[in-house]
Each structure stands twice: as C-alpha cells, then as structure tokens.
Structure 1
Amino acid sequence: MAADVWSIADRDPERVALRSPRGGLTYGELKEASARFAGAVVAAGLRPLDRVVLIAPSIVEFPVAYLGLHAAGISVITMNTMATGPEIGYVLDDSEASLVIAWHECQDAASAAASERGIAFWRLDEGARLDAEPVPQAHEHAPDDTAIILYTSGTTGRPKGVELTATNLVDTTASFMPVLNLTPDDRFGTGLPLFHVYGQAVVMNTVLVQGASLSLLAPFEPTQMLEMVRRDRLTVLAGVPTMWNAMLHAATDEFGPSDFEQLRLATSGGASLPAEVMRAFFDRFGCTILEGYGLTESTGAATFNDINRPQKAGTVGPALPGTSIEVRAVDGGVLESGEVGEVFLKGPTIMKGYRNRPDATAADLRDGWLKTGDLGSLDDDGYLSIVDRAKDLIIRGGYNVYPREVEEVLYEHPDIVEVAVVGVPDDHFGEEVAAVVSLRPGARLTGEELRAWAKVQLSAYKVPRLYQFVEALPKGATGKILKREIDRDAIRVAAAEVTA
C-alpha cells in the first residue's frame, strides 16, 4: 500500500494528498513523513509482520503512521479511540502486539494497558518519530501476508481479530475506483473514523492509491461537514445514513445550491440507508447517494450501486468486480431470485480468517464462501437487497417482521429524525414489535398517533405496539445505530403508557 502511494509522490510531489482543519499534506510531504515514521519503527527493532496497535482519530497523522507502519512491513491493528483499558488489553494479549501508538487525546488507557504488559508505547504526536532516518523504500508484503487486523465488535462472545491480507487491501481499492469513476482530480471528504474498515480500506486507501485528495473531519459534526464541502469544493463524500440525516437537518439557508454544485456523488455504507433520506438528500443537495454493502470480513467490500449502471433505490447494488453472491436457505441450498435467505460472499476481498480462532474461521468461512449472518435477496439483475441481520429478525406470533421494512415507513414521518425497530420479549406473541424514536426539535408525537399513522402503510402484525421516545439513539464510532445497546426491558417500562 505504501509503495503505491509513494510512487504517486515521486511523480507529482506537490499534489495535495490530505486536508483537515488543522492543516494538510502534499503527496511529497506524506511520503517523507511516512518514510521517517517507518525508519523510527525499524530503528526500534521491529521486524516485518510484527504487530502494532494504532489508536487515533481521523487526522492527518493517522495515514502518516499507517503508511509508515506498512512501509516497515508491520501488520497494523487499528482500534476505536473510545476503547477502554480492558478492551485494549484484550487486543494486546490476543494479537501479541509489540508496540502501541496512540494520539495524545486517547493515550491514557492505551499507555496503561501497554505498561501493564511491558509493551512499548509511543505518543503519535511526538515529533521525534519524524526525525528518524527515512527508509529508502517501502516493504513489499507477500500477497497472503496479514496487512491489517481489525477486531469485530464482539456482539457474540469476545471480539475476533479479522486478518486481512495485502491482496485484500489491493483488490478492495481496485474494485471501487471504476464504480465511482474516481480520478486524481477528485476531492474526497469524510467524517468516518479511519480505524474502521469503511473509512480505512474503502475510503482512505482507495483515494490515496488513486492520487486524489482526502479531506478529513474528526469528529463528525454536520454543520462542519457542510462547511468542509464548501471550503474544499468536495466532489465526493463518504458516510453512513445517520450522517446524511444529520446534514439534512443542519443545512440552513446559509448553504445555497452553489455550495454543492461540484458535489457529484456520495457513498453510503455501514447500515441500511432509508429511501426517504436518499430522496431528501438529492432534493436538498442535488447529489446522489450510492449505497453499498460489505463487512469487516470482506474488507468492507462486497456490492455497490455502480455509478455506471442504473441505480436501484432500496438495494445495495450488484456484486463488485470479482465478487460472487449466493442467497441460501437454512439447509444450505441456493435460493432463486426474489427469495429471502442468508447472504454468502466469495471473492478476492474475503478475509484470511480470524486470528487464533480456527473454529470460528471454519464456521464462517466455508470453501472460500463467507457466511455473513445477513438476510437478503437478489433480483433478476443481480442487485442485492439486505432485509436485515438474521439476529435482528422479529418473529411475532409466528410472523416474520423485518425491522428495516418498518423503519423505512417510520422514516417517512416528517417529525422523525431517527428510529430503531427491535423485538421485545412478549408472553403471548413470543416477541412484540417496538420502535425507539428520536423526534425533530419541538415536535410532539404520541405512540398512539404514530401507531395510527403506521397502520395505514403496514400490515397489522408489522405495526409497532410499543414506542419509546428518546433524545438520541446509541451509536458506534461510525455513526451506526447500535441496536444491541438498546435496553429491551427499559422499552417495556417506558412504553407501557403508549401501548395500544
């Protein structure tokens, strides 16, 4: 990865690589800084395929360290900036890391976890690392070498380290450039965390390998993102549904059509994009949001609504080049188009496996096919629709209720900003359908009113009976709504008065 970026620096050192509110770097400066960072790593005695934990927000220093570590041949482990001491300690033990590097704002937990284990710790913002002798050339990983390890969120059991190879990274960038029509003249922007597979493998790596520029915002704030679009004259944005929704609600009359005339497209992933948000975003900004689908285990890449093909709202597009998709029944049989089953993926972006977890690897990776745990269907043109996570399916009185379908309807209500539909244990039906709702400022809405509104558009068994109104829904680092953090018992208590 580093060698590809450095070659651009050799050809055009003055080309802008990175922008941020704190400053930016040209490709020449990015090469020089990352080469010196690599030199510091080598001087410290680390060797190719040693493992290093990197904890930093989406700042210019992140790609400097990331490329520097790759240039030294290191397997890079990026972690959430909100990770606690025990969480960091678990990753250090599981990965057998040799070094921890953290930005000063999130150094306390990282330095403590490293100290407890006798592991070296560096502060990312210490300029001494950039005074080292630069390495003359970047290390070239073998195709099957583990280039990065990303730990899953651990919704079932302890987090698993997803090992992604040098080939996985290269093929991910190669698959996205043509479907985005990305050129070196594009000015890309994001508020995504670079420690996540979407921000890192899909966005950062793809942009820098192409020679385009990347504007970074950390943390994401909708008005600041709108200002960044205007200031940097961005042509492409990358985000998740909650970001697009937040930008819609933050876009005052201060921002006019001319501020967005150069913005040609946006890419969305991480969670299902409500059709209403997609329509409203185009109406307000004149920009099409292209939705895609991927997992950490697929290097964030699987499908995408290719800009060169007809767009199908409500789908996550056809398979990316080189990727195959099958939708399978419980017995493993491949289903026909239009039938809902579990999504399986195969292709060059599929992980090497879970670190130190042969049983888990064997369970999720079968003959090269990745078992995703997502429910979906393919249409006759090969476009994939994700119905829901298999674990999020609600079975109410024997009827299947897909939360996403209900959420799509509720998002059409003008007073709703965000909503999550979940199943709540029920003695009679087995599960009851519940909606956790965040309203726009100043709005007043009762559960009875919302249920009456939903009954017009949904079959009776799909209409939520329980409603909980909250100021904001729990979200992860990417802005994805975290349903696992919604307290089902609290819903039953809070929603008792509005059950109808």
Structure 2
Amino acid sequence: MGLNLAALLSQTAAARPHATALRRSDAPGEALSYGRLDEQVAGFAGALRDRGVAAGDRVALMAPNVPGFVIAYWAILRIGAVVVPMNPLLKAREIAYYLEDSGARAFLHLDALSTEAQAGAAAAGVATVIGFDGGSSPLPQGERPVASWTPRGADDAAVLLYTSGTTGSPKGAVLTHSNMTWNAHVGAIDLLEATPEDVVIGTLPLFHSFGQSVAMNATLATGGTLVLVPRFDPEEVVRAIVGRRATIFLGVPTMYGALLQVLGDRDVSSLRRCLAGGAALPVELLTAARERLGCPVLEGYGLSETSPVASFNRADDWRAGSIGKPIRGVELRVVDGDARPVPVGEVGEIQIRGHCVMAEYLGRPEATAAVLDADGWLSTGDLARTDEDGFVYVVDRSKDLILRGGMNVYPREIEEVLYHHPAVAEAAVLGVPHEQLGEEVAAVVALRPGAAASEDELREFVRERIAAYKYPRVVRVVAALPKGPTGKILKREIDRASLAATAPSR
C-alpha cells in the first residue's frame, strides 16, 4: 500500500472535519477547520500537478508561520513530492543556492518575500514560482483536486531539510516518510501525550525541524488546534496562551527567558506541558519556568539529521540539566574516538541509531559517510555523559570545546554559572586564540532589562565558583547576543578577534 506522511492529515480530516485545525495569533477571528484545510490542500495539490509537479520532485517552500505554509506543505506531500523548507529571511543569493542544490522543480513563497524570491529563482533557473497570501485566503486551486495521497516507499524522501551550515555550505538532510511519520507519532504520543482538545502554540518556525515535527505534524496527527505565531514576540505569545487557553507550548531557551520577563501575574494555568529544545536549557531557567508556568518543562535533544527528536525527558521520568533518554525505537550511545562506548560518567561523543536518522545528505556521499557508518550510527559531534539511570547530559559541541593550556574547558559549564547571576539574561562562552595558551576562555553576556553588572563583577562571580583554569579572563557585556531564526544563540557570529585582542598575555 505504501506510506506517505500526508496520511496523517487526511486521517484526522476524515475523523474530525468540523474541529478547528489552525488559528492565527495575530488574527483572532480567523480559523480553519480540518475539513476546510483538507479541501484547500487537495485544491492546491491539484494546482501543483497542473503545473507539472510529480511524485519525487522537490518543491521549495519559503514562508513564516502562516496558514499558507501549512497548506502548501501538505499539498506537496499529498502528490508524493518532497518539501524543501526554507528560512524566509534568506536573500536572493542564498535562495539560489538552496534551489540549485536541491534541484527544486518549483518554488512556493509568501508574496511579501517576492523581491528576493523572484531574484533567487531567476538565478537558479526555476521557472515554476508561486506566491501566496499570508492570511487564510486559499492558495491557487487546480482544475481537479487531489482527493487522496500518493503512496510512497517508507524510505522515499518526504522532506529535504537543510542544516544550519555552521561549517561550510548548508547540506540537505534527506528525511524519509518513515522518519517523519515516526517522529510525529512519538512526539504526539510519548512527549506531548496529545489529545484532540489540545491547543498548541506554534511559535517555533515551521521551516525548522522541531516546529515541523512536534508542533505542526504531531498536532495535526492528533486533531488538536495549532495557533500559528508568524514571528516570535513574547507579549503576543502570552496573549495567545491566555486568550486561547493554550495547553502546550514549545520553544527554545531564549523564548522561555523572554516569556518569563513579560509574563507578570497573567493566568497561564491552562498550560499542561512545555517542551524545550534547539539548545541547552540552563538549569536556572528550567527551574524558574517550571515554577512560574506551573507545568512540566521537558528538555530534549535532536538534530536536523534526526528528524529531529532523538531523546527527551518525560513528565514522570526526568532530570534537570539532562536531555532525557532515547525516544521509543531509537538507540543513543556515548563513545570515544574509536567508537567504543565510554563508562558511565565519562565524556564522549553522542551517536544515534534508529528510525529518526536521515537517509543521507543529498548528493554528498563523502559527507554522509563521514557521519553515518555502515551499522547506521550517526555521529553528532556533540559531547555528553550518562548517569547510572541512563539519563544523558550534553556537555558541549565537540567543535565548541576550549583547549586552554592543554586543559579541556566546556563552555556550557561556565554558561550555567553565569546564568545563576541575577543580572544575566543570556550568556555565550567561547574560545578565542591565545599565543601562550592556545585558547583563552571568553564570555559574552547580555543583561536583564534594568539590571547592572560590570565585566569585572561577572568575571569574579564565575572565578569564585569554578576551577581557576576555567573562568573567563575575557568578559564582555553587550546589548544582545546574535540569534538565528529559532532564537538559538549563534556563537559563530560573535567577533572572536576583538575578544582575543583584550585577552591578558599570561
């Protein structure tokens, strides 16, 4: 019979046609039922088919969290094509790269992005370009709606998700129908314990794997309501939680920090489950969020290459500071440089195997072989340790490890100390070049609104709490730290050269 991720929406629409599928946080009166959503998906799938898009073709999609993204995503899948989600902040040159590298047959974009989108499409030679409105207006409809989904193989591509490109050019991770279907089910059943009555705040970008699999796909698979937030604004998110009596919130650490700063005494008691991912959640922030939001705040872990969820804490089985345990059907181990498991408590690299692991990097066999071995183990580049109960604790990215005078320094450990300072809102610790030591430890910090702390004070605060070789000799207070589209702090955009210039010579 075959498999298609698109079946998740079709099944829910058949079972709950009158239930509300989508709302917009910035348009409270607008709502789209499952029946109407399914009709629009069928009609737009027909329009794509009329334009020559067929099963296996790759179709790029660039839009923020608006109904058109959801409709286009499921329409592409329905005809058996492959979704290539793209960040709406991309410029023409970057757009052309994604289109060319993916071999996109068509390109769908929000009308408001047309200037960069059209320029990028022209440079890449993509002729089929379709713009759509950001509201609830129907996308173009074909002469004949596509009433049912096209069967595909479990190992056929469903989504081509580009990595962030922290080193070199972004690579397209091929995620299969099996990858994505499993991740949606595990997210809905095991992590969210989702029901049709749930109202989920969709502020994580849908072009990103976390927002896609756990916010959108898991919610639509179980018949809940997804409240779309086109751009994260903490005030708007709080209004949506309160106004819609939201039950589930998913976010990255910086989102939780921003929410707690504006929440005040507003009633968010409707929340029953919150998930965090995308970056390490400082224990201090986790504790504050659990206390103020009044519900479990569960941290997990994954990559674009793992669809993305690979491990998570559960509401009845969790540890602060941990990424939990592997999800159902997935293995996770911590290994040394020879791929041998290390003892409990020792630091090694995380490897993952199971239904969540990508098929390959599109068109890059050497890059694929570098991270995916013959036994199916994916090397993540993340350093971690385990405890005796099987919980996993990420120490840092292997590439972020600081080697100071021959001693290993893990940035996350220092960041955790900085987050305990009452004036610190955000912190990033990184290594900078040093002639004598090889690398020196530097910290870049943003303060809470109205708070004050000098660089010397912050340096001393850390020095008093950790070993002498670890504390940051270089501390810089800035107005804000650079962030990516999901709110993740981007250390690669911090000017290391200027920090190195202020490092002491000893």
Q: TM-score, normalised by structure 1?
A: 0.96
1:316 aligns with 2:316: no
Name whichever of 20-29 and 472-481 sits farther off.
Answer: 20-29
Which of the numbers 134, 137, 150 marks the counterpart of 2:161?
150
Output one character per residue of 1:167-201: Cα deviation in whole Å (capped at 9) or x when no partner: 00111112222232111111111311000011112
The answer (yes or no) to whether the contact 2:446–2:479 under 8 Å persists in 1 is: yes
Per the alignment, residue 8 of structure 1 pairs with 12
1:334 aligns with 2:345: no
Query: SS at the partner of 1:462?
Result: coil
Shift in Å at residue 326 of structure 1?
1.2
Amino acid of the structure 2 residue aligned with 1:156: T
1:235 aligns with 2:247: yes
Q: How many residues align?
A: 493
Amino acid of the structure 2 residue aligned with 1:148: V
Query: SS at the partner of 1:24?
Result: strand
The answer (yes or no) to whether the contact 1:465–1:499 under 8 Å persists in 2 is: no
Amino acid of the structure 2 residue aligned with 1:479: G
Per the alignment, residue 284 of structure 1 pairs with 292
TM-align CA RMSD = 1.5
Question: For the residues of structure 2 that align with 1:137 and 1:336, how far apart are their CA atoms?
Answer: 51
The answer (yes or no) to whether the contact 2:45–2:142 under 8 Å persists in 1 is: no
Query: SS at the partner of 1:153?
Result: coil
Question: For the residues of structure 2 that align with 1:312 and 1:143, how far apart are their CA atoms?
Answer: 34
Which of the numbers 35, 38, 47 marks the counterpart of 2:42?
35
Question: For the residues of structure 2 that align with 1:474 and 1:105, how far apart are their CA atoms?
Answer: 24
Per the alignment, residue 219 of structure 1 pairs with 231
Question: For the residues of structure 2 that align with 1:492 and 1:469, how far apart are their CA atoms?
Answer: 15
Runs of 5+ consecutive residues of structure 1 not aligned to the other structure: none
Question: For the residues of structure 2 that align with 1:66 and 1:183, how far apart are their CA atoms?
Answer: 23
The answer (yes or no) to whether the contact 1:305–1:311 under 8 Å persists in 2 is: yes
Per the alignment, residue 394 of structure 1 pairs with 402
Runs of 5+ consecutive residues of structure 2 not aligned to the other structure: none
Shift in Å at residue 443 of structure 1?
2.3
Query: SS at the partner of 1:423?
Result: strand
Query: SS at the partner of 2:141?
Result: helix
Amino acid of the structure 2 residue aligned with 1:86: R
Question: For the residues of structure 2 that align with 1:264 and 1:175, how far apart are their CA atoms?
Answer: 18
Amino acid of the structure 2 residue aligned with 1:444: A
Per the alignment, residue 130 of structure 1 pairs with 141
Output one character per residue of 1:370-395: Cα deviation in whole Å (capped at 9) or x when no partner: 01000001212221111000000011
Which of the numbers 382, 388, 398 marks the counterpart of 2:390?
382
Query: SS at the partner of 2:290?
Result: helix
Q: TM-score, normalised by structure 2?
A: 0.95
Per the alignment, residue 295 of structure 1 pairs with 303
Which of the numbers 458, 466, 470 marks the counterpart of 2:478?
470
Question: For the residues of structure 1 that align with 2:23 and 2:403, how far apart are their CA atoms?
Answer: 48
Question: For the residues of structure 2 that align with 1:140 and 1:337, how far apart are their CA atoms?
Answer: 44
The answer (yes or no) to whether the contact 1:173–1:209 under 8 Å persists in 2 is: yes
The answer (yes or no) to whether the contact 1:467–1:499 under 8 Å persists in 2 is: no
Output one character per residue of 1:427-461: Cα deviation in whole Å (capped at 9) or x when no partner: 11111111000012232221211111112211111
Question: For the residues of structure 2 that align with 1:328 and 1:30, how far apart are their CA atoms?
Answer: 46
Per the alignment, residue 274 of structure 1 pairs with 282
1:450 aligns with 2:462: no
Per the alignment, residue 44 of structure 1 pairs with 51
The answer (yes or no) to whether the contact 2:94–2:120 under 8 Å persists in 1 is: no
The answer (yes or no) to whether the contact 1:163–1:353 under 8 Å persists in 2 is: yes
Name whichever of 360-369 and 130-139 sits farther off.
Answer: 130-139
Per the alignment, residue 198 of structure 1 pairs with 210
Shift in Å at residue 132 of structure 1?
4.3
Question: For the residues of structure 1 that align with 2:138 and 2:389, how far apart are their CA atoms?
Answer: 53
Query: SS at the partner of 1:460?
Result: coil
Per the alignment, residue 105 of structure 2 pairs with 98
Shift in Å at residue 84 of structure 1?
1.4
Per the alignment, residue 17 of structure 1 pairs with 21
Question: For the residues of structure 1 that align with 2:304 and 2:70, how far apart are their CA atoms?
Answer: 19
Question: For the residues of structure 1 that align with 2:475 and 2:497, how far apart are their CA atoms?
Answer: 13
Q: Which runs of 4+ in 1 moved over 3 A?
A: none
Shift in Å at residue 287 of structure 1?
2.5
The answer (yes or no) to whether the contact 1:191–1:220 under 8 Å persists in 2 is: yes
Per the alignment, residue 489 of structure 2 pairs with 481
